[in-house]
Every structure is written in structure tokens, then in C-alpha cells.
A and B are shown apart, each in its own frame.
Chain A
Amino acid sequence: MPQRRTKRSIAGIAAICITAAGALAACGGDDTSGSAKALTWYINPDSGGNDPNKKGQTHLAKVCTDQAKGAYTISTQVLPNSASDQRQQLLRRLAASDKGVDIMSIDPVNVAEYAEAGFLAEVPADKQEALKEDAVKPIVESAMWKDKMFAAPMWANTQLLWYRKSAAAEAGLDMSKPVTWDQLIEAAKKLDSSIGVQAKPYEGYTVWINALVESAGGHIIANEGAGADELQLGLDSAESKKAAAIIGEIARSGIGGPAMGSSDETASLDLFAGGGAFLVNWPYTWAALPEKGVDVKDIGFARYPQAVQGKESAPPLGGIELGVNAASANQAAAWDAIACITSQENQKTYMLGTGNPAARKAVYDDPEIKKEFPMASLIRESLDAGGPRPATQYYGDLSTALFKKFSPPDQVNEGTPAEAANFILEVLKGEALL
């Protein structure tokens, strides 16, 4: 009898172990690293979702899989919605050397962080020219880290100034010439109307702050690529003070809308759609306005406003770069796939399908694109003149610290940039929490 009991308990323990092992193995998910040809592409969500029949990234995966004729197959996995959640998930997978990730859609600002950590494979020398060729300059610069190329430009994004033609005429603004933020503020005050901006404490607010600083001629980081101890910020400067003055004035005068401190792209778009005079936002605005019942006949678009009269503005830049996981076993196939995905033809398909602007300039000269996007040449011009967000391996910390110190916007004053600079350096040196 006692022996039987022992046997039973051993069997019980074995059963527990087997169950536990099974549960642990299940956590690993689909490991495609075993097959040399199967590539997994982690995409950021676009209007195509995970449906190959819509014209999003999943569609391009299907097109390229068909073209490869068995050389490789691409399957897609959709990343979370928000930019910071996308970064977190990729970072976790990359830090754990997850071989199940081959190709990734990366926000340009995160290339530096991943590359510095050694998570990204360098672009093969023979592929670099073809990927850079004809692509807008800032998006190519974002793909580089310390003079090496770590990612392939896929699509590029920029913000435009949207306005109501009737409102601009009433305020006496000549929109055929570049306008300044100060002029817009004056006009909005006079009309008792609003300027839609993004000033909630999130990445979009950093985009705005950076665009203002860059437009004024300054830079948030003075020595890009430096380590935490040597990093020098350009925030304690006249340019940054000008940027802070614009933000504070818009917030305090109430022309940023009643909930400016919690406004993101969607909220600012709603403010504009509800009768606001001006808005700075990404090109998807053009397709989104009719959906909100706005007659686009009265809607105009112009270059991003100037921070300083007469100084060319530096519009915000966004977009997606494609990177290859350094731990991937299929790197050669992954770069072949990227060459296909980023081809001029596929970028055009993608732009038509999702409204996300292509990285290659030639796409903007395509008659079909010109018909679909009347502001195509303005987008192209803005992309070329764009002021990228600072390239640094500490971008996540820098951005969070920056928008935290600039919040709430109605308390931003000339002293805010210097205060933010001190805080950022403290955080990076491990002397403050974030």
C-alpha cells in the first residue's frame, strides 16, 4: 500500500510537471525560425488591419510573397495601437532575442534606440543605394545611426496647416504666402475661433514642441549620439523660449480649445471639424473631414506655420521605417522582402490604400496620386524641409520628460524649456524618476 502511494505521488508530480512544461511551451507562440523561408513581419496597425484584401501592409506582404515565387513567405502580426505600446512590445521581444520577429515596422525616432542596443541588423551594403534612392532626406537620415544604415524608409509623414478659407479671408490673412504662428494667434483671437493643436501629455505633444523649436532654428539636442553623461541639450535657448511662448499664448488665450491639455490628433481634428478656423495635423485630415460632415470646398491647406517671421518652417516628421531583427535567422530573405515592400509601385499602392504618404519622391509625380491627393506636392515639399525629432538612444525618456514638463500647456512660459532640460538630464543620469 505505501509503495502504491509513492507511485501515485510520483505520477501526480509528473503530471504537474508535464502540464507546466506544456503551459510554458505554449507561451512561446509560433516559432517560425525553424523554416528558412518563412518571415514574420510585425506591422503597426494601419487601415488595412490584418486583411490582405485591404491595401495596407498585410496586402504588401501578400503581393511580395506572390512575387517571390517560393523564395520566402511573409506573414504579418499586428502591433498595439499606440506608438509607445508598439515600442514597448518590440523592445521586449528584441531584448529577449526573439527569433520569431524578422521584419519590423518602426517609428523613425526609435531606430536610434534599437540600433544603439544592437537589436537591428545593418542594411547590407549592396541594398543601401536602392533603398535610399529618391527617398526624402529626413526619413533617410532617421534610418541612419552613427553613420551606418539600420532601416529602410517605407512611408513618410508630415503635418500641414489646415484652414477655413472663409475664416482666413475674414481675418485678412494671405494664405498664398507663408504664415506665422503669431499671425494665426492674432487671427484666431480676432475671429474668436480656435487653432487645433496636440498638447495632451503624449508623443504627439513632443512632435509639436520639436516642430516649433526646429522652425525657430533651434534643436532639442545639441550633440546627437552622445551618451547620457555627455549629452548637451539645446533647450535653454532663444529658439526654445520662442516655442514656449507660442504654446503658452495659445493655451492661456483659450484659442487652443476648452480641452487643449488633453487634445490629441483626433480631438484637435474634431475641434476643427466643429467650426475651428485653423488646425495643424497629418494628411489623413483630408479624408477624415468629409466623414465628419465637413464640406471640403471651404477647406484649404498650406505649409506648416513659421515660428519666426521669414524663417522657413520645419514641419514635423513621422512615418515608418522597416528594420530587420539582429537575432533573425532569415536576414538575407528579410532584406529581399524589404526591397520588394518598399518598391516604388508598392509605396504607391500603399499610399492610395491607406493615405499614408510614400517615402519615395517619384510617387508624388504619379498622375493617380496627384488626382487622389491635391496636396501631394505640398506634402513632398514639407517632407523635404521637415525637422526630425532628435536622434538619440534615450529618445523614449527624453520625449516623456519633455512633454511632462510642458504640461499643462497653460503654465508653459519662457522658463519651461530650461526647467525641462534640467529634468531630462537628471532622468538620463539616473538622478530622477520619470
Chain B
Amino acid sequence: MSTVATAPSTTRQPKPGLTDRAKGERALGWKLAGPAFVVMLLVTAYPIFQAIWNSLFSFRLTDPASRKFVFLGNYVTIVTDPLFWLAVGNTLFITVVTVVVELVIGMALAMLMNKVIWPRKTLRTVVLVPYSIITVVSAFAWFYGVQISTGFLNHWLEALTFGAWDVNFNWFGHWWSSMLVICMSEIWKTTPFMSLLLLSGLAQIDGAMEEAAKVDGATFWQRMFKVVLPNMKAAIMVAVLFRTLDAFRIFDNVFIMTQGAQNTTTFSLLAYDQTINRVEIGMGSAISVLLFLSVLLIAAIFVRGFKVDLTGGRN
């Protein structure tokens, strides 16, 4: 028992004495990744630190003379403001709803794409179409499709309900209906991304295992939960992580459709409003920093909490 446990440590080289090969690999690694690392530092680390620095000031772009150091004053203002919590609540709502729905639809699509033999390539291409559309364009498409004056949705609903639906229903006049449209456009647009990631996970499962379960008399759902899902857990978690981070930054749909009216403002939109619209660089930077921290937190929860291995497959 003890020999087994100590075996790996005896075979591993002690750190100071790297072999020439390991040194060479490490040097090559730096050479290959180094330039990208430096560029990353320049384009991401610098703005991040600049934002953190700016967030400590009361600083308005149109009034640079009255720039004033307020330390954490901006953060205090933000976390005590109900508008901020409304934005956070909306963002979490959109994130949870869209990710859950996308996971279910994405999984179904992935399984379909995995099984279908005949129009396989065509199907995969068709499924990808929404994802290839720019988010702003898809947001406008949904906006015009739903809006009273140009929309067709109300007319369809009226026809489907035999006149019970009000043709003049203002979708952007209520919180729930605005949110419904925002979530639907987000789901429509990014489910393909989810299904592709899941498809790659499905494709890695050894068909023999499923076959064996089938022979043993397992039902579809048993095979699904005992064989398929456990074996593609890594792919699912990566897909969910990517989509969660993506959904948490939601901006385009809300910006195009409601601009935050009917209490539909989100985290990113709030940061945009303070920074771009009000040119309150200090306050806007503080919100951006909080957004950044939230994204870090989500990533940490996934990577540490759910043990998502982003380098999956590497030993």
C-alpha cells in the first residue's frame, strides 16, 4: 500500500534539477506563449488597473478640473443604491433562465446532431445560422418582430388564439414581457454555441458503453443519466461556464430593445450609462470593476467548486 502511494514522488524529478529536455520545453513554451502573454498584459492588465485607479475618483469627463479622490466613495454609493441591485437581479435572472433553457435545448440538438446520419452536415450548418448573426442585428430583428408598429408576433398570437390576443399589446410596456423577449432572443442566438460544445462532448463517449447499457436493459433515461451525462461532464461544465460568463455580460439585447426602461436595466448597461452617457468615469469604472469581480467570482466558483478542468484531456 505504502509503496504504491510513494511511487509517483520517487519517479518525479526534484524541481531544481530539471532535465535539459524539460528546460528546453519550458523555454520553448515561453517563446511560444511569451509574445501573446505580453500583448495580453498590455491590452487587458493595463486597462484593468486604469479602471481600478479611476474608480477611486469622482471624475467627470466634461469637468476634469473638479476631479477629486474619494477612495471607496463610489463603491459605497453603488452598493447602497437600489438601482444597482435591480440591475444585478435582472442580470442574474437573465443568466439563470437563459443558461438553463439553452442547456436543455442545446443538449437535445446535440443528441440529434450526433444521431442523425443523412443530412448531418446540412443540419449542423442550419443549427449554426443564428450564432453567425451579430448580436446587435439579432436584437434588432427581435425588436422589430415584436414591436407594435412593425411586429408580426402580435398578429400571429391573435390568429393562433382566434382573436383573444390583443393586437396592440405593448411587449416593451411591462417588465415580464420585456424580459421574455430579451431572454428569447438571447436563447435563440446562443443555443447553437451550447449545442456545438455539447456535441463535442457527446462525440467523445465510447459507443460501446451505451451499447452495453442497452444490452443490460437500461431505459433511455437510465442510459442518459448513468452513462452519457457522467461521461461528458467536463464538456457540459465548460459549456455552462462559457455561457454563464457570456450571459452575465448581457448588453446588446437590452440596449436595443428597452434601454433599461420598465426596470430592465442590467449590470453592463448600468456601467455603460454611467461611463458613456453621463461621462462619469469614476462611477462607471467602479461599476465595471464590480462587474469584473463578479465574473471572476463566477469563474472561481465553477473552476474550484465544480472542478471544471479547462485543460481537459491533458495529463
Tell me the A residues contacting B by CB distance below 8 Å: 9, 13, 16, 84, 88, 91-92, 95, 113-114, 116-117, 119, 201, 227, 258-259, 261-262, 393, 396-397, 400, 430-434
Is the Cβ of A396 less than 8 Å from the Cβ of B278? yes
Is the Cβ of B274 less than 8 Å from the Cβ of A9? no
The residue in chain B whose Cβ has the minimal distance to the Cβ of A427 is B278
Tell me the B residues contacting A by CB distance below 8 Å: 31, 35, 58, 61-64, 66, 70, 73-74, 77-78, 81, 83-84, 148, 168, 170, 172-173, 261, 270, 273-274, 276-280, 282-283, 287
A400 cross-chain contacts in B, Cβ below 8 A = 277-278
The residue in chain A whose Cβ has the minimal distance to the Cβ of B58 is A430
Q: How far is the CA of A84 from the CA of B287 in the complex (A)?
A: 22
Q: How far is the CA of A262 from the CA of B257 in the complex (A)?
A: 13
Q: List 16 A-B contacts (CB under 8 A).
A: A16-B35, A88-B277, A91-B62, A116-B62, A116-B63, A117-B62, A201-B261, A258-B168, A259-B173, A393-B63, A400-B277, A430-B70, A430-B73, A430-B283, A433-B283, A434-B273
Q: How far is the CA of A431 from the CA of B74 in the complex (A)?
A: 8
Is the Cβ of A262 less than 8 Å from the Cβ of B277? no
Is the Cβ of A261 less than 8 Å from the Cβ of B62? no
A227 cross-chain contacts in B, Cβ below 8 A = 66
Is the Cβ of A95 less than 8 Å from the Cβ of B61? yes
Choose among A88, A119, A262 the residue that contacts B170 (Cβ–Cβ < 8 A). Answer: A262
Q: Give the residue among B35, B63, B274, B287 with the most A Cβ atoms within 10 A.
A: B63
The residue in chain B whose Cβ has the minimal distance to the Cβ of A266 is B149
**3 closest Cβ pairs, A-B complex:** A117-B62, A433-B83, A433-B81
A259 cross-chain contacts in B, Cβ below 8 A = 148, 168, 170, 173
A258 cross-chain contacts in B, Cβ below 8 A = 168
Given A259-B170, A433-B77, A91:B66 Cβ within 8 A: no
Is the Cβ of B61 less than 8 Å from the Cβ of A434? no
The residue in chain B whose Cβ has the minimal distance to the Cβ of A267 is B149
The residue in chain B whose Cβ has the minimal distance to the Cβ of A407 is B261
Q: Give the residue among A201, A227, A397, A434 with the most B Cβ atoms within 10 A.
A: A434
Is the Cβ of B61 less than 8 Å from the Cβ of A430? no
Q: How far is the CA of A92 from the CA of B64 in the complex (A)?
A: 14
- Tell me, rounded to whole Å, the shortest Cβ–Cβ distance linking A3 to chain B: 14
A13 cross-chain contacts in B, Cβ below 8 A = 35
B276 cross-chain contacts in A, Cβ below 8 A = 88, 92
- Tell me, rounded to whole Å, the shortest Cβ–Cβ distance linking A49 to chain B: 20
A113 cross-chain contacts in B, Cβ below 8 A = 62
Q: How far is the CA of A432 from the CA of B80 in the complex (A)?
A: 9
Given A430-B280, A433-B83, A262:B62 Cβ within 8 A: no
Is the Cβ of A433 less than 8 Å from the Cβ of B173? no
- Tell me, rounded to whole Å, the shortest Cβ–Cβ distance linking B147 to chain A: 10
Q: How far is the CA of A341 from the CA of B64 in the complex (A)?
A: 33
A117 cross-chain contacts in B, Cβ below 8 A = 61-64
- Tell me, rounded to whole Å, the shortest Cβ–Cβ distance linking A372 to chain B: 30
Choose among A84, A95, A114, A432 the residue that contacts B81 (Cβ–Cβ < 8 A). Answer: A432
Given A91-B279, A262-B173, A430-B73, A393:B274 Cβ within 8 A: no
A434 cross-chain contacts in B, Cβ below 8 A = 83, 273-274, 278
B148 cross-chain contacts in A, Cβ below 8 A = 259
Q: Give the residue among B66, B81, B277 with the most A Cβ atoms within 10 A.
A: B277
Is the Cβ of B84 less than 8 Å from the Cβ of A433? yes
Q: How far is the CA of A93 from the CA of B181 in the complex (A)?
A: 34
